[in-house]
């Protein structure tokens, strides 16, 4: 029977008691995104006609977290076993399709192996794995010829069966006409008083249907998360695989065990990344970029030749070629650097455009600003862009020199080639090509003064 249609069912109803958390287990994050999202992303690569996800613990928390996904949600109000979970989705299955059953807490599932399982499945197919310590997993019982006869849950297994090291992964493929019939006939007469989905294997054997079984060699791809220890172990496996791919592409990593990619990271040639760096969202790095230790970079584009020193934080920023940034610099959302700028230690930029050759080297804050070419901003300079209620812009034209310990009270413009004397508080526009200096000779207090109020839009 040729199948032209695929349904995917994801079981994601469990609490995860051993996680010791009120958050549903499938919403705990690996590499910056929920476990369930990893499974959904893999499922979508198989081009299913529909994805049906079973949720339960946490109420609407799981579907709410995944509201961006186009899928069918089915609630399992009582968690009475995996068979009971699949019972809930039967009305949504296409009778002329196959179904692939995935688990929401198995984030590294391999879509290519799942496709192989689908290709080999007639009525029923399983992914299995051999474990040195099979623990409490359901055992795969085979006959003398090696054909699968049943899956026996650990609590129901005898001593001989418990010695079997081939175990069930929980990932199953089945032809829907058979799956619907078998699941409808499940019983809960077992030690757990639950409806075991695995009982359909014995049903298939009874119906003289071949049970395809693929033994997975990549154990991590079928490993479930049941505790924070499991989660941490899979995180390191995932990150090491990412690191290996980066190194295969030519990236130099000081230590492949000490990098975290929580999104996508694209690198050019001759990129060097020191230890402890975290990359979040979408990050692209050009040729010859050097990144120092313990940097956090999120949703950023970094062009070729730029050097980023240790402990720099970059968020939603575009960085041109041959810039020097850090150490201990912070580039916040909306910042754009052109080429050959220097942004030094303990400098913070926010929503600012900085043109070619400008230097902001020490202990400064530049926010909501346009900074021209070849500007020098001295140590301790700040743009006072917020009056307590509203934000205003500072414009610094080309070739301006700002002395140390200067406050630029926005809105204000510094004309081309202007020089601002150190220690000035600038509240008015500074003319081009002139020295402007403003230092109070005495302290004043103004009675009756009131703070600005937010402007109504």
Residues with a catalytic annotation lie at: 362
Q: Contact at 8 Å (CB) between 309 and 293? A: no
* Strand positions, DSSP E, 114-183: 124-130, 139-142, 148-152, 166-175
Pairing of strands 166-175, 98-103: antiparallel
Identify the three-state secondary structure at position 354: strand
79 CB neighbour count, 10 Å cutoff: 15
Identify the three-state secondary structure at position 359: strand
Residue appearing with tokens 């070729």: 304
Instruction: Give CA–CA dist 47/42, Å, rounded.
Output: 10
Give counts: helices (H), strands (E), the chain. 8, 37
User: Rounded to 5 degrees, what are φ and ψ at 261?
Assistant: -115, 115
Residue appearing with tokens 């020089």: 419
Q: Contact at 8 Å (CB) between 138 and 154? A: yes
**The two structure tokens encoding residue 434:** 């002139």
Nearest to 200 by CA among 361, 209, 191, 13: 209
């Amino acid at each position: 029977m040729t199948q032209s249609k695929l349904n995917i069912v994801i079981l994601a109803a469990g609490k995860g008691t051993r996680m010791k958390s009120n958050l549903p287990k499938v919403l705990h994050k690996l590499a910056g995104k929920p476990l369930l999202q990893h499974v959904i992303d893999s499922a979508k690569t198989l081009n299913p006609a529909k994805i049906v996800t079973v949720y339960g613990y946490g109420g609407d928390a799981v579907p709410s977290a995944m509201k961006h996904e186009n899928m069918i949600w089915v609630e399992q109000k009582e968690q009475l076993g995996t068979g009971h979970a699949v019972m809930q989705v039967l009305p949504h299955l296409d009778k002329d399709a196959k179904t692939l059953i995935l688990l929401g807490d198995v984030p590294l599932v391999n879509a290519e192996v799942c496709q192989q399982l689908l290709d080999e499945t007639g009525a029923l197919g399983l992914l299995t794995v051999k474990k040195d310590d099979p623990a409490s997993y359901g055992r795969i019982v085979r006959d003398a010829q090696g054909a699968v006869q049943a899956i026996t849950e650990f609590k129901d297994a005898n001593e001989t069966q418990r010695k079997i090291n081939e175990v069930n992964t929980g990932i199953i493929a089945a032809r829907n006409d058979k799956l619907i019939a078998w699941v409808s006939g499940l019983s809960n007469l077992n030690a757990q008083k639950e409806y075991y989905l695995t009982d359909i294997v014995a049903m298939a054997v009874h119906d003289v249907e071949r049970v395809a079984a693929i033994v997975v060699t990549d154990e991590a791809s079928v490993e479930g998360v049941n505790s924070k220890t499991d989660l941490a172990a899979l995180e390191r496996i995932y990150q090491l695989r990412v690191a290996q791919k980066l190194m295969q592409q030519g990236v130099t990593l000081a230590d492949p065990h000490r990098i975290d990619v929580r999104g996508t990271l694209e690198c050019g040639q001759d990129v060097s990344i020191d230890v402890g760096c975290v990359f979040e969202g979408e990050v692209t790095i050009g040729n010859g970029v050097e990144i120092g230790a313990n940097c956090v970079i999120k949703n950023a584009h970094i062009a070729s030749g730029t050097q980023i020193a240790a402990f720099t934080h970059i968020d939603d920023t575009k960085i041109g070629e041959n810039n020097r940034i850090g150490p201990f610099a912070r580039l916040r959302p909306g910042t754009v650097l052109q080429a050959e700028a220097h942004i030094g230690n303990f400098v913070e930029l926010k929503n600012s455009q900085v043109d070619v050759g400008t230097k902001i080297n020490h202990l400064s804050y530049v926010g909501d600003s346009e900074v021209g070419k070849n500007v020098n901003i001295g140590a301790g300079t700040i743009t006072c862009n917020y009056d307590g209620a509203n934000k205003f812009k500072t414009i610094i034209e080309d070739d301006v020199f700002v002395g140390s310990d200067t406050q630029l009270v926005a809105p204000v413009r510094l004309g081309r080639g202007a020089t601002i004397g150190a220690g000035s508080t600038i509240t008015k526009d500074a003319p081009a090509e002139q020295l402007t200096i403003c230092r109070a000779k005495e302290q004043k207090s103004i009675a009756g003064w009131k703070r600005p109020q937010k402007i109504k839009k």
